[in-house]
Structure 1
Amino acid sequence: MTTWISPKQKQFVEGRKSVWKQLKSIEATQIIWIHTASLGEYEQAVPVMKELKTKFPDHKLLVTFFSPSGFEVKKKDPLPDFVFYLPLDTKSNAKNFVESLNIKLAIFVKYEIWPNYLNALAKAEIPTYLISALFRKEQIYFKPIGQFLKQALYQFEHIFVQNESSLNQLKQAGFTNMSISGDTRYDRVTQQLQMDNQLDFMDEFKQDKICFVFGSSWPEDEAVFMDFINSTTNVKFVIAPHEIKAQKVQSLVEKLNKKVVLHSKMKNKNLAEAEVLVIDRIGLLSKIYAYADIGYVGGGMGNAGLHNILEPATFGVPIVIGKNFQKFPEAIELRKYAGLFSVENASEFSKIASKLVKNHQLRKQTGMIAGHFVEARAGATRLIIEKIVGKIG
């Protein structure tokens, strides 16, 4: 019997066992293949996928994931036609994968650079693109020990980077097959504005109070904002923790001295009287941000990685984040424009949060900056589609 380190490791291994059988069922279909690492990269690919489905209705979209967390959430998403795990990047796996499918175009997202797959695609003369890419000088591609990975970058027909610093980094390394498109996430979040974002439970919960939404929080984030929640009155709080395992959620609830309701147990509860609503299910946060007067985006107090600040920003919500955001250019830039605040500790958080709660004009001005910031940077999808549309056979 195999002993697994974690449930995620088991999903990572077990989930790949059925891939080859699944591939056989679609081998004759004309495929546009999009590979993403996890959920964040999938969301970056969504605007591109929508355009491709419209322009190429005779082709099927195959999305592959590296991470179980992305696959488990999106395996039943109706946008792609097929959702599989990507077999590990070995020469034989890559050769078999590419040769078993009728791939007309391949797109990799952000950091997904798998040398064996890229070599197999190049040998098969399949146009392959990297979108929403970010490069920094400390990455392995630009060090002597990373030459194998650097060579893999040459297999892309074109690399669409998010910003000028990434473009310059590639130029210094001798690349010429790249251009600045921006980040497709801006297109993804602006599309959210056109959707129906009404949630009856949020209407009932918020009433006419200021609503502070804490999205994708980790324990390190919760340690920073918990005292503020417990000591602040006449404000509604929504907490959507990143991990929604029962034990983690229960630990969070036990730290709150407010009237708390779990989303999973809100039936027959008086939401109007509740002070804190804990969202213990996935898929609601992007709509909940539409109700926020202030937002905190998690991941930045620890080393998990800052979550998506653009989701609240597109609704014109002033944002607070933790101290670790140096690898996230959108956070650096929005902070520079005063549409976002970063905090080092609980004391700093309480100070800025209190200002935002009490000062309507500060909330309005900061939120307006955030909303305009997102709106001005949309358009990456159009640039990408214009470049690749003629390459699909």
Structure 2
Amino acid sequence: MLVFYNIVIKSYYFLVVFFSFFNKKAKLWLVGRKNWQQKFVVNPSTTKVWFHFASLGEFEQGKPLLQAIKTQQPQKQIIITFFSPSGYEIRKNSNLGDYILYLPLDTKQNAEDFIALFKPEIAFFNKYEYWYHFYKTLNKNNIPVFVTSAIFRPKHIFFKWYGGFNRKILSFVTHFFIQNKESAVLLNGIGFKNYTICGDTRFDSVLDLAKNKKEFPLIEAFKAEHKLIIAGSTWPQDEELIANYIKNLNGDWKIIFAPHEIGEDKILNLEKLLGDQSVRYSSLLNSSENLNSAIKCIIIDNIGMLSSLYSYGDIAYIGGGFGVGIHNTLEAAAWGLPVVFGSNFQKFQEAKDLITNGGGFTIANQQELNIIFEKLINQPKFRIEAGLKAKNYVAVNIGATEVIMEYVFPEN
């Protein structure tokens, strides 16, 4: 099975090489890993903690733990690796890391070279990331491996009769910090008892964002006395549904789109969909154009505003639910906004919980979106109560970071 795993890893690499000729992300993935061993001068006298994240969302999820270690263990240096360009390219200059790089391809040689170069004393992998050679090499060198905000489902290969190789990867883990009881039952079922149920560090992350909001005077002026829908991390199918609804949007309401992808072609398509009732945020910043009454929509054409934009909102729509899976619902919930999202939410415990407690609503088509938006817009009491339920859900689920810190660094 290891031979097959190695073949898959190498095949993936050659696919990236092929796609790099016409795909920007593939090229970044490839170039970012080139000659990685020569890019760093590593101080051998300092102790180091390694964090690995798949992408940007996982980085934000794990950031409270990073911050806690920087504060409580300031003598330690931090290594941060990313699998995806969408994480590395945005956070490569983060002040939370002393060494920030792409995770090298998971080969035996790369894993051994990486550990020999950085010599971490502890490694944290976030949520889903399981790499055989890195895990095995860490284990062989007696370096503890912790998986944070881990979540397991019955369909995962670890729990299938043919998942022996994948269970071997789990055997290299020192301790799992898991999100829910279902994950505990599944781990128990395959003989793993080394876990703590402590929830998701993302709750700590979004609560911190809510305490440190950024002010945007243009957004404040745009909202004025109106109510505001924030459509965050949207994809084309989300945008089409919302655009169809807002054609007849109540005059008391406006909307902000913060698309997941902000390439020029994506923004142009959204502008075409919305017509002359929309304006780009960058256009407002770079011109004297007034926010006249005809402007019902602002399109955010940059990265980094969304988490604070929710503070201006009254309803949030979270994109991704008709494709890759919904994006971060908790950032909006932390601000007390009811959240609406598409039907692909089953992988996200927080989305299921929000639906259960009445702070979140899922839709599968145009009709269902119209119904829930009408209810949230025209029934203020219902909207406010749903938002309070969402906010309370975040508040009662904080604390995972503290649990992890007490377990890993008990001397503090």
Residue identity matched to 2:383: R
CA deviation profile, 1:271-325 (whole Å, cap 9, x unmatched): 353210000100000000011100000001x221110100000000011111111
Distance 1:28 1:93 in 2: 22
1:263 equivalent in structure 2: 281
- Report the CA distance between 1:49 and its aligned residue: 0.4
Q: Tell me which of 152, 155, 164 is aligned to 1:147.
A: 164
1:23–1:101 contact (8 Å) kept in structure 2: no
- Report the CA distance between 1:374 and its aligned residue: 0.5
Distance 1:129 1:188 in 2: 19
Q: Tell me which of 120, 124, 128 is aligned to 1:107.
A: 124
- Report the CA distance between 1:390 and its aligned residue: 4.2
- Report the CA distance between 1:197 and its aligned residue: 3.2
Q: Mark the runs of 5 or more structure 1 residues left unpaired by the alignment.
A: none
1:286 equivalent in structure 2: 307
Distance 1:276 1:77 in 2: 32
Matched, 1:35 2:55: no
Q: TM-score, normalised by structure 1?
A: 0.96
CA deviation profile, 1:338-386 (whole Å, cap 9, x unmatched): 1111111111111211221121111110000000000000000000000
Q: Identity over the aligned pairs, expressed in percent?
A: 37
Distance 1:344 1:136 in 2: 23
Q: Tell me which of 326, 329, 353 is aligned to 2:346.
A: 326
Distance 2:179 2:66 in 1: 18
Distance 1:41 1:26 in 2: 27
Distance 1:30 1:102 in 2: 8
* Distance verdict in 2 for CA 1:63–1:272, change over 3 Å: farther
Distance 2:213 2:182 in 1: 37
Distance 1:246 1:54 in 2: 40
Matched, 1:227 2:269: no
Residue identity matched to 2:163: G
1:354 equivalent in structure 2: 374
1:87 equivalent in structure 2: 104
Classify the secondary structure of the residue corresponding to 2:258: strand
CA deviation profile, 1:24-47 (whole Å, cap 9, x unmatched): 444554211000000111011100
Aligned length: 391
Q: Tell me which of 254, 257, 270 is aligned to 1:239.
A: 257
Matched, 1:161 2:182: no
* Distance verdict in 2 for CA 1:241–1:324, change over 3 Å: same
Q: Superposition pairs for residues 363-374 of structure 1, below 5 Å?
A: 363-374=383-394
CA deviation profile, 1:180-212 (whole Å, cap 9, x unmatched): 010000000111222133211111111010100
2:279–2:297 contact (8 Å) kept in structure 1: yes
2:363 equivalent in structure 1: 343
* Distance verdict in 2 for CA 1:171–1:181, change over 3 Å: same
Matched, 1:67 2:84: yes
Q: TM-score, normalised by structure 2?
A: 0.92
Residue identity matched to 1:383: V
Distance 1:5 1:180 in 2: 44
- Report the CA distance between 1:391 and its aligned residue: 8.6
Distance 2:71 2:143 in 1: 21
CA RMSD in angstroms, aligned pairs only: 1.6
Q: Following TM superposition, where does structure 1 have runs of at least 4 consecutive aligned residues deviating by more than 6 angstroms?
A: none
Distance 1:38 1:16 in 2: 15
